[in-house]
Structure 1
Amino acid sequence: MRLSLAEVFRLGVDTLTHNGLARDHAESIARVITAGQRDECHSHGLYRLISCVDAIRKGKVVLDAVPEVEEVSPAITRVDAGFGFSQLAFDRGLGRLIENAQSIGIAALVVNNCYHFSALWPEVERIAEAGLVGLAMTPSHSWVAPAGGGKPVFGTNPMAFAWPRPGQHPYVFDFATSAAARGEIELHRRAGKKIPLGWAVDASGAPTDDAEAALNGAMLTFGGHKGSALAAMIELMGGALIGDMTSADSQRFDEGAQVTPCHGELILAFNPHLLGGAKAAQGAQSAEAMFDSIRAQGARLPSQRRFEARERAQQDGVELPEGLYRDILALSGR
């Protein structure tokens, strides 16, 4: 099926509001889902409506939660999402994060008590659009085994970073500290495809290429002990540090409902002009020289494929499997 971006957005809003979600929440989520579909991040596009509706129907999410914004200090903004989805809470706190970073140099946005399902690059890209450097991290459910183990402890624990580049797309990376995003394994299961060895182990701790067995076992970190250490850091920074749940806490809070994880998120913004001082322009030039040296070797910058997909989608719309389209139509009540 081929849809325009406007049609993707409307389908997202219609599906969520049909299932009882307040319109301001639905629009915030639909913007992020549309961005994922636009950039060919299929596991974070329209597919995510299925898990959103599941969380709504199981009564886990507060459908009309009003995010409460608190200025903790001149550099720290806290938003209590009230056990609603995270996107509206981020939208409500972003302006203060940007203002604080622009005036102070370094600022933090803490989002607590939120259901978070999306990629993190939409958050950090919006920070980069303001000329700031962005860093975001969040835990999830305890689906991932530590290096040397076979039982889940960590979440997929993504982190994202964005570096502003005036006049062109920012330098952005966004990756899970697991070997693959859980959504990718779920998409393999839906398609009846095997997953690569090294992504997960089964319930007995043995390596597996079966997606269903992986979902019932434990995912693995990328890079062995290095990914495991980063996953632990994100548990601490995006959970314990900000007074919110670790992935294990979130799993217990879920009480077997198996819905989108509930926890917190930490977003940091840095002002390169204040931090770089008189050498800020030189720093920007050094960054561009590094990017040029990467591309000169035929290597891609992170997110380059996304940006290329974005240009295609803005002109031609997006494609999605007919089966997925029909599943979402059924959820939307159309």
Structure 2
Amino acid sequence: MTDTVQLSLPEVHELAVRVLRHNGMSDAHAQAIARVIAAGQRDECHSHGVYRLLVTTHTLRQGKVSGTAEPIVRDRSPAIVAVDARFAFSQLAFEVGSKVLAAKARQTGLAAMAINNCYHFSALWPEVEALADQGLAAMALTPSHAWVAPAGGSRPALGTNPLAFAWPRAGHPPYVFDFATSAAARGDIELHRRSGQPIPIGWGVDASGAPTTDPEAVIQGGAMLTFGGHKGSALSTMIELMAGPLIGDLTSLDSIALDAGKGGTPCHGELILAFDPDRFGLGDLQGDQDRAERLFSSITQQGARLPSQRRFEARARSIAHGVQLSRALYSDVLALLR
């Protein structure tokens, strides 16, 4: 018996739907979340792929999240749409609200969508990439749980607070970046803990504030660290404000207090901005796109990679050959069906 299990992408999606529906989720929510989980596994974003079924199911079983609540869309203004996720996961709320967001962006040039009262567990690139596929530039930002110490501190006050951006490209995958403002994603530290591997120095500190390579020490009583010292800390704080109080939702401190030690998925808001390049420009959309492509070429021609290039290469492999899961993770996921 090998240590891995080979699955096709449809099999990953079907497995995710089965697990989520078995644990009380409606088909609409299960399908939306399964699409994101399958996409993460397809692109070899392992901490945001099938592994996330363990996290979402745990949160469902704790009774912290609704598996059936239908999102409510509210038209706030010509350029703002708000979606109340009603304390369900955010994926269905995004799918429903993004149709309105895209239409508003084409009408006004710049539009914003606030998703409130949502549980968000995934990467942000699926959201911005979906908008880029419609010819829009996009940004997304969200807080999380307060797991991260600010620069100069040793106690958690900030979330991992990811930021994502996408730029549409004709004939190419979009230019996409998506990164946590913490030195590493929480899921990456969890995966190191599960596999018994040390983490690099700089990812976190222990309960005394000392640097550590022990993922358990970071998770149990310690704190994660921001990337780039005070720069990452300031950017993380900006995300707390823009995706929290600005849209009438929780900060990462509020989210972890609401969780009350259950270890569930963070509950908060998400802010997505969509830009129509045709509306912003001076009428020469092709010329603007050509200038963007010259910029990308100036990067790649000197041997540098564009963000997400490895992810798109992994996508092509997975579409052709399927994906591999560790047998231990696969067994843990199958146990969720019992």
TM-score by length of 1: 0.99
Q: CA deviation at 1:285?
A: 1.2
Question: Within 2, Cα distance between the matches of 1:60 and 1:325?
Answer: 25
Q: Among 188, 203, 207, which residue is 1:203 paired with? A: 207
Residue 168 (1) aligns with residue 172 (2): yes
Q: CA deviation at 1:115?
A: 0.4
Residue 290 (1) aligns with residue 329 (2): no
Identity percentage over the alignment? 62
- The correspondence of residues 229-268 of structure 1 with structure 2, limited to 5 A, is 229-268=234-273
Q: Are the equivalent residues in 2 in contact too, given 1:97–1:269 (CA < 8 A)?
A: yes
Deviates more, 1:42-51 or 1:274-283: 274-283
Runs of 4+ in 1 over 4 A off after TM superposition: none
Question: Within 1, Cα distance between the matches of 2:142 and 2:326?
Answer: 30
Q: Are the equivalent residues in 2 in contact too, given 1:11–1:332 (CA < 8 A)?
A: no
Question: Amino acid of the residue matched to residue 81 of structure 1?
Answer: A
Task: Report the equivalent of 1:145.
Answer: 149
Q: CA deviation at 1:281?
A: 2.5
Q: Among 111, 117, 124, which residue is 2:121 paired with? A: 117
Task: Report the equivalent of 1:321.
Answer: 326
CA RMSD of aligned residues (A): 0.7
Question: Amino acid of the residue matched to residue 34 of structure 1?
Answer: A
Question: Within 2, Cα distance between the matches of 1:63 and 1:319?
Answer: 28
Question: Within 2, Cα distance between the matches of 1:181 and 1:110?
Answer: 23
1:89-118 superposed Cα distances (whole Å, 9 cap, x missing partner): 101101000000011100011100000000
Task: Report the equivalent of 2:29.
Answer: 25
Q: CA deviation at 1:168?
A: 1.1
Question: Within 1, Cα distance between the matches of 2:315 and 2:286?
Answer: 29
- The 3-state SS of whatever aligns with 1:140 is coil
Question: Within 2, Cα distance between the matches of 1:91 and 1:278?
Answer: 30
- The 3-state SS of whatever aligns with 2:166 is strand
- The 3-state SS of whatever aligns with 1:278 is coil
Question: Amino acid of the residue matched to residue 321 of structure 1?
Answer: S
Residue 272 (1) aligns with residue 272 (2): no
Task: Report the equivalent of 2:47.
Answer: 43
Task: Report the equivalent of 2:8.
Answer: 4
Q: Are the equivalent residues in 2 in contact too, given 1:79–1:89 (CA < 8 A)?
A: yes
Question: Within 2, Cα distance between the matches of 1:245 and 1:311?
Answer: 38
Q: CA deviation at 1:292?
A: 0.3
- The correspondence of residues 14-163 of structure 1 with structure 2, limited to 5 A, is 14-163=18-167
Q: CA deviation at 1:127?
A: 0.4
1:121-170 superposed Cα distances (whole Å, 9 cap, x missing partner): 00000000110001000000000000000010100000100000011100
Question: Within 2, Cα distance between the matches of 1:40 and 1:72?
Answer: 37
Q: How many residues align?
A: 333
Question: Amino acid of the residue matched to residue 288 of structure 2?
Answer: G
Structure 2 residue runs without a partner (length 5+): none
Q: CA deviation at 1:267?
A: 0.3
Q: CA deviation at 1:214?
A: 1.1
